[in-house]
Structure 1
């Protein structure tokens, strides 16, 4: 593992006292990380805001969570902030580990790799954060599916706070240019250091992957592989059965109840019902349980789990 200092600690400020509301200044197609509460309500954390803060320390249903985002890895992961009976608060260390964001906790100053949840240095070295279920949805889809859902608000708004000004203040253009470019890693984002090589022909370095880890086994599901299988695959990871779905709303993983799933007209069908992949709910009142997962670029998944950890049909 290659760890490098890129910025001073906390140069990118985490959000430690988040506030929420019903309005959002971004575009309809903006992506948000969505965490459901036990009562079916939902909180959304826009990637437009996370790109400038990278970590939100929050509490949902009494559970301390860290909503994390690494723009270089395009990695969206929600973690439980509790480790060995203590609650941790995370900040941005200013370091990268294999081009992945390194978090640190303010209680023990242990450093954690965002793309894996592994402690890589410090008092809690070799500990691991638990991944929590979360979806990535567009703002338009979130508002449609969760009309009473709330969305993360800005820490401090500019004096002129119309939507256009706010979008300019939280500009996604640099990150979108990076996502669309051929280069990847720190060099691809900032043009510093050396370009990284990628010797695979079956996957691009920036292919979107949904990673699932169960029972000591890790499998990354590349978006093109799921699409080529008709938009849905059933699989087993660590002895647990799951179904992975790819539709316009993104990629989602659920516990598999043993149904024969198929995607038709961008909707998930099984057992005589239509299932909403945003919520896991069916039109007859049943519900699929979302699996903990992480969404990221293929190069970051391979860095963490090896070249043979990808699902293939």
Structure 2
């Protein structure tokens, strides 16, 4: 990143209050299903995850006063799991980046008047309730508190880590609502819940300060795909509408950030196995953690692998713009979208090839599949692959959370 760009980025971050931080943890799916036989998306079993630190208890650190002002907070600062010096200000105050608490939605047709076909959206489904959350909105708000299919969820996006994550907002018998603290840890957003004002790491879903320090939110599977793919598959589904804030929705305040060599406000050690802001899809299966670079998946179209005994297929489809490249998100470079599935169906382990048109074929039956893991033609038409818990992140953040992560390397 050149000096002018760095200075511009710093001013933007302070002015608009966009911030984001990291830890060392391993999210473990509660169970890994072996096969899929249901067709509709609302009938497909999906793994959820309650993340833990390598299966060990997270210990609280000895009480001490934080080295920053606590005015305006009712947080129990005597409880924490991280060192105070790891937490820094991102510029904005508490709720300086306003979460969306009462989201409104519009039709695909209405959304198409301002979103391009290439715009990235977070696809999340709970039962038959399927929704799209454009990054063109989330880049300015970072958190959407929503209820989907009766489940309270937090749809989150940390621009500095390129981390789009959906959480269950239920913790025990409480339903939490989240806001932004204005604080960062290793370049990642620190959230807080409004019920106890405990602080939560967005990347890990772990409570790090306050009453819920050491507690864990459950991850819910989601995908980042193009608006065109969402509209084609779910033409009647709702799309998050622009809220009534004065924001330049559709623009990216982090121009060229995803080609920077040093992430903003990250002071940890970089893992030089990949460029810092290279996109990876991070996969977690039964405690095993592995990263697949977008560059490798893009080149191959399809990657077959096995992790913790589960045969996986990693798919890539072009046509999705980076939200962190050009000033106009719709003009961002094509990074495509990825998806990770268990490739077993009805007792058979399938092998896939990319068709070159955004679809895939399995060699065993010749059926055609889409990026959502659905067979759309052929013998297996209507079958769906089991979606795996996977994360579309920048490499530096994934490696900071998972210093022992495996890294996929294409065979030469």
Q: TM-score, normalised by structure 2?
A: 0.66
Residue by residue over 1:12-38, the C-alpha shift from the partner in whole angstroms, topping out at 9 and shown as x without a partner, is 010111111112222322111011242
The question of whether the paired residues in 2 share the 8 Å contact of 1:29 and 1:138 is answered with yes
Residues 217, 208 of structure 1: CA spacing in aligned structure 2 closer, same or farther, 3 A cutoff?
same
Q: What residue number does 1:183 align with?
A: 262
Backbone CA RMSD of aligned residues: 2.2
Aligned 8 A contact 2:139 2:252 in 1:
no
CA shift, 1:281, in A, is 4.0
Q: Secondary structure at the match of 2:399?
A: helix
- 1:91-240 matches, within 5 Å, as 91-156=179-244, 169-186=248-265, 198=270, 200=272, 202-228=273-299, 230-240=300-310
Give the number of the structure with larger relative contact order, counting CA–CA contacts within 8 Å between residues 6 or more apart: 2
**Alignment partner of 1:131: what SS?**
strand
CA contact (8 A) 1:280 1:290 kept: no
Which residue of structure 2 lines up, in the alignment, with residue 21 of structure 1?
A: 106
Aligned to 1:162: none
2 CA distance for matches of 1:185 and 1:208? 16
Higher strand share: 1
Structure (1 or 2) with the larger CA radius of gyration: 2
Distance 1:173 1:63, change over 3 A: closer
Query: Any conservation in 2 of the 1:37–1:60 contact (CA below 8 Å)?
Result: yes
User: What does the per-residue CA deviation read over 1:177-210, in whole Å, with 9 as the maximum and x for residues that have no partner?
Assistant: 22233332237xxxxxx7x77461x411111111
Displacement of 1:48 in angstroms is 0.8
Equivalence for 2:87 = 3
**1:36 match:** 125
CA contact (8 A) 1:268 1:276 kept: yes
Indicate how the Cα distance of structure 1 residues 285 and 220 shifts in structure 2: closer, same or farther if over 3 A, else same. Answer: same
* Structure 1 gaps, min length 5: 159-167, 188-193
**Structure 2 counterpart SS, 1:127:** coil
Q: What are structure 2's unaligned runs of at least 5 residues? A: 1-22, 24-85, 319-335
- The whole-number CA distance in structure 1 between the counterparts of 2:399 and 2:274 is 11
* TM-score when normalising by structure 1: 0.86
1:306 aligns with: 403
